[in-house]
Amino acid sequence: MTYDAHELRRQFPALAGGTAFFDGPGGTQTPSRVADAIAGTMTRPLSNRGTDTTSARNADDVVRAGRDSLAALLGAEPAGIAFGRSATQFTTDISRALAREWGPGDEVVVSRIDHDSNIRPWITAAADKGATVRWIEFDRATGDVNPDAVRDVVGERTKVVALTGASNFFGTMPDLPAIAEIVHAVGALFYVDGVHLTPHDLVDFGRVGADLFVCSPYKFCGPHLGVLAGKPAVLEAIAPYKLAPSSNDVPERFELGTLPYEAIAGTSAAVEFLASLAGTTGTLRERLTSSYAALKAHEDDVFAQLIDGLARYDNVALIGSPARRTPTALFTVDGFTPAEVAARLGAHDICVGGGHFYAQEAAAAAGLPEGGVRAGIAPYTTSGDVGRLLDGIAALG
């Protein structure tokens, strides 16, 4: 089946209003099946797990299906999938748990290109234990992260290396397998923030080489939730802060409080939506593989139209040109702050972002104190949307 963005858009009630959404890097719109799954979970018998009742079994089924769905999406094991409030929450929790074993002289490595949610928790945890923080730098001209930049800052005292799978600022996709080899060669853990990667690239957890990986379903047409994927053996070795009576099993020990069953059901529905894009049959992972290939072809085509169009404007400066990237454009417009561009386009129902998007270290290092204008391509973005955005920029004067 040919990828048909116009037909796909019928599944998204929010698109009926006519807004051109380029803010997918901050959060996508949601198809009806996700909302239906959430409502269906909330309107049938449901209770805490642990009893032999229909309502408890319904909750068990939701969680089991959720782990299976996310394992298929990420190429991971269901036993290594945990659910929580957000990726930021998981990173904060994991950093505190790992820091139990740190002390003066130990080193933690973070990167300038990351969202602050994969920087600040590590810096704070290191400061609490007297550990040293070292920084991975990126190429200021292209936005790329060279594996050698990682090699330069790791050593025998490195405990963990935290790095994005894709920059939410430049769109940069670092060479994770190559970097994982460098990290593991010194005996450190590799923690990957996959929030901006997962919507655009089918993750193979084993090939990526991460020990721990987080993502956010609301970036791939699902509900607001956080997902942690880990090697079960790695998770077994981590003692998180938790309540005494709660399960000490993996992955449950990383799930604080009662799980949001409705959000987990919605996440499973979002994965099923992604798997449906190519209209193929097979296992969930096989359908996801076909669908992500079709999605990439669509996004690459629309993104090329966007980049080519922006490049034609003398008053527009494109920021970064990473060798491997998500369909995420960062630019500035002469005479306007990024926030002003976003506001003026927003007045015409063209939704872009303006600022640093919590990638404040990247923005500062790139010499962009006010950040940039960010436009991202999503499964429902069309050439018509791109035309509206380009016309809107031309109308700025």
pLDDT tens track of the chain, all 397 residues?
Answer: 689 999 999 999 999 999 999 999 999 999 999 999 999 999 999 999 989 999 999 999 999 999 999 999 999 999 999 999 999 999 999 999 999 999 999 999 999 999 999 999 999 999 999 999 999 999 999 999 999 999 999 999 999 999 999 999 999 999 999 999 999 999 999 999 999 999 999 999 999 999 999 999 999 999 999 999 999 999 999 999 999 999 999 999 999 999 999 999 999 999 999 999 999 999 999 999 999 999 999 999 999 999 999 999 999 999 999 999 999 999 999 999 999 999 999 999 999 999 999 999 999 999 999 999 999 999 999 999 999 999 999 999 7
Sheet of 316-318, strands arranged across: 316-318, 328-333, 372-376, 353-355
Extract the tokens encoding 331: 């630019």
Q: Tokens standing for 136?
A: 């991975």
113/320 Cα distance (integer angstroms): 12
CA distances from 60 to 34, 44, 65, 203, 326 (A): 19, 13, 8, 26, 35
**Which residues, 6 or more positions from 51, have their beta carbon under 8 angstroms from its beta carbon?**
none
Could you tell me the two tokens for 16? 């009926």
Residue 2 is predicted with a pLDDT of 80
List beta partners, residue 177.
none
For each of the domains in the chain, give its residue range(s) and CATH number, in order of start. Answer: 5-30+285-395 (3.90.1150.10), 37-273 (3.40.640.10)
Closest by CA position to 379, among listed 103, 1, 22 = 22
